[in-house]
Amino acid sequence: MSQISPVRPVKILLVEDDLALLEVVRDILSDTGYEVMTATNGREGLQAFRLFRPDLILSDIMMPNMDGFELLEAVRQMEEGMLAPFIFMSARTERYDTSNARRLGADDYLFKPFSAEELLTAVEARLRRREQISLFSTREAHLQTVVMLASAIEERDVTTSGHVDRVRTLALAFADYLGWSPEIKMILEIGALLHDIGKIVVPEHILNKPAPLTDEEMEVMKRHPTSGARILKGVSHLAPAAPYILYHHERWDGRGYPFGLKGDEIPIEGRFLALVDAYDAMTSDRPYRRGLPRERAMQIIRENLGTQFDPDLGERFLNMLAESAQL
């Protein structure tokens, strides 16, 4: 059975008044690599929780001084105990006990006697669930910050209202079409939202000019990919998204910016976002022109495969658009 391999040992609090069973369970967990703290009643268990802040609690129900239900209730009342996985171990199978355990927020219920395999499976499943919740919560907090930042940047550019959110939606749909993993899509989402973050250094009179830019103004505008990547470089949880920001204006034929990279020299993030960004730009209304019909935008992309766009990735992008009238 595979085990979680954290940077530090996972700490488990084991609360059991049957000393023989406590020793057996402790040995199974310790031999698997977990750091185990023990207590023989609920009161000792609560003190141990406050002192050691374990990653998971395994507890009997019927114990002296404080039973398992009281321990669970006390743990859940503490901020640090609200999400701590809590598994009951009990020989009692009455409906009241199991429903009461769920009501109080228990995560699992092991019926005695149980095997080492059943114990380890339950423990690992609950630890993985906690890890997923923690990652999701962290991601959501980061994403809220990113969305707020992207909205603030877009407020400066009245010509591209809604562009960032449309690029995000279309980029995630394309990533799903390509079968990209959830981990890669998390980075993509940040990159899509912040792909124009470098425009924060572009003067508003250039951003909002209702006419073609002069050569000098275009040179200023062309700095936004490098400016954006530089901003993200110092933020550890955003830095992996930098390639989307830095390379989405490169062209397959080498005539893009900021580096003039050609073909496969352009990282996949840039080639991917170049398609999504260009499609939305063509199909969206701007103050100085109407957006193109989707069929015309698709035709332009097809005509520019192998020049502006990655021909293979572009073909798959067009196939996705052809298969979904909603995009």
pLDDT, position 6:
37
pLDDT, position 161:
60
- In the numeric block, which tokens belong to residue 22? 């406590």
Tell me the C-alpha distance between 142 and 147, whole Å. Answer: 9
Helix (H) / strand (E) containing 298: helix 294-303
Q: Are 256 and 226 in contact (CB under 8 A)?
A: no
pLDDT in tens, the chain (327 residues): 334 333 458 899 999 999 999 999 999 999 999 999 999 999 999 999 999 999 999 999 989 889 999 999 899 888 888 878 899 988 765 555 556 656 655 777 888 889 999 999 989 888 887 665 555 445 555 666 666 666 666 665 655 567 888 999 999 999 999 999 888 898 898 899 889 888 888 888 887 787 788 899 999 999 999 998 888 877 777 788 899 999 999 999 999 999 999 999 999 999 999 999 999 999 987 666 788 999 999 999 999 999 999 999 999 999 999 998 777
Residue environment code for 51-86, b if the CB has 16+ CB neighbours within 10 A, otherwise e = eeebbbbbbbbebeebbbbbbbbbbeeeeebeebbb
Strand partners, 89: 60, 110
Planar angle of CA 62, 66, 67, nearest 5 degrees: 25
Residue reference for tokens 């185990």: 36
Would you say how long the chain is, in residues?
A: 327
pLDDT, position 165:
86
CATH 3.90.550.10 fits 157-323, yes or no: no
- Domain(s) labelled CATH 3.40.50.2300 in the chain stretch across 11-130
pLDDT, position 198:
87
Tell me the C-alpha distance between 92 and 103, whole Å. Answer: 16
Express each pLDDT in 257-282 by its tens digit: 999 999 999 999 999 999 999 999 99
pLDDT, position 92:
66
| DSSP class per residue in 21-83 | HHHHHHHHHHHHT-EEEEESSHHHHHHHHHHH--SEEEEESS-SSS-HHHHHHHHHTSGGGSS
Instruction: For the beta carbon of residue 31, count every other beta carbon within 10 angstroms.
Output: 10
- Domain(s) labelled CATH 1.10.3210.10 in the chain stretch across 157-323
pLDDT, position 100:
61
| DSSP class per residue in 221-270 | HTTHHHHHHHHHHT-TTTGGGHHHHHHTT--TTS--SSS---GGGS-HHH
pLDDT, position 48:
94
- Specify the CATH architecture of the domain 11-130: 3-Layer(aba) Sandwich (3.40)
pTM, whole model, 2 decimals? 0.57
Sheet of strand 86-90, all strands in order from the earlier edge strand to the far edge: 35-39, 11-15, 56-60, 86-90, 108-111
Express each pLDDT in 163-192 by its tens digit: 888 999 999 999 999 999 888 898 898 899
**DSSP H stretches of helix in 60-181:** 68-76, 95-104, 116-156, 163-178
Distance of CA 317 to CAs 19, 174, 189, 272, Å?
63, 7, 17, 9
